[in-house]
Every structure is written in C-alpha cells, then in structure tokens.
Amino acid sequence: MKIINEMRLDFPAFAKNEALARLVISAFMLPVNPTLEQLADVKTAVSEAVTNAIVHGYRDKCGTVRMHAALYENMALMVEVIDRGCGIADVRQARQPFYTTQEGEERSGMGFTVMESFMDSVEVRSEVGRGTTVRMKKLLDAREGEPIARQA
C-alpha cells in the first residue's frame, strides 16, 4: 500500500513529553479530517504507548522515545512508539490486564489493554536490554474530500 504521508519524532523520555506526542499525532492526522472519536482513540493509544516507554522502558533513566507515523492511501494509520530501554522479558504476560512492573505505585497495568481497545491492531516486539516497539494501526473513515496527496 502506498504511503501518502509520514513523520518521525524523537524526544527525551520525560513524562511531560507525553503531551507533545499527543499533540503531534493529532496534527499529523488533521489533514485527512478524522472523526473526533478516531482522533481521541489514536491520541489515547499513543499516550499509553509513550507512557509505557517512559515509565517501564527507561525506569527513571535517560533515553529517547521515537514516534513514527505513516498514513496510507487506504486511510490506514500506522503509529510506532519505540524505545531502547530495558525491554520486556515476557510480552504475553505484560499484555495481561492489571500487570505492571511498578508494584506499589498508582499504575493500573492497563496500558496494552487500552491500546488494544482503541486501535484496530497492536503488535509488540521487545528484547530484554534492547528495547520495545509498539506498532498500532487504525483504519480511518474518509470524510469530506480526499486525503492529502504525497508531496514530492
């Protein structure tokens, strides 16, 4: 499938940058006129993925989070959130509701569950000591007009 637009953003793994990621993905989606529900769904899923990278991936250490997004001509949106943190030893276990690596803190352990409920698909690849990539896809409804064409 042909990509009609894409972007990449690298930012420090600071909690305050979760809001930056939400704003950037919103701005990236706006030219294709998504519904408010689609916009909210993607922002929520991105927020969860970025928070997981910061809180669990780096665990109070310095690091960089990368967000890569692509929009395809069939109106499919793909968003990847990538960290080079500690990785996840057991991805299957980490995807279970209420699982958290931050015992004793106010964490619900629902990050992956939230992502899965708002996106059409969520893939998680991780390697201990090398980091984690969360790849999420959402099919957007075309509304009023055509999506933007890829600029040369």
Catalytic residue at 52?
yes
Q: Which of 18, 48, 80, 84 is catalytic?
A: 48
* Contact indicator for 47, 84 with CB cutoff of 8 Å: no
Distance CA 15, CA 8 (A): 19
Distance CA 32, CA 141 (A): 9
Give SS3 for 60. Answer: coil
Q: Which of 107, 116, 125, 135 is catalytic?
A: 107
* Contact indicator for 67, 25 with CB cutoff of 8 Å: yes
Q: Which of 5, 18, 52, 80 is catalytic?
A: 52
Catalytic residue at 5?
no
* Contact indicator for 33, 145 with CB cutoff of 8 Å: yes
Catalytic residue at 66?
no
Residues recognised as catalytic: 48, 52, 107
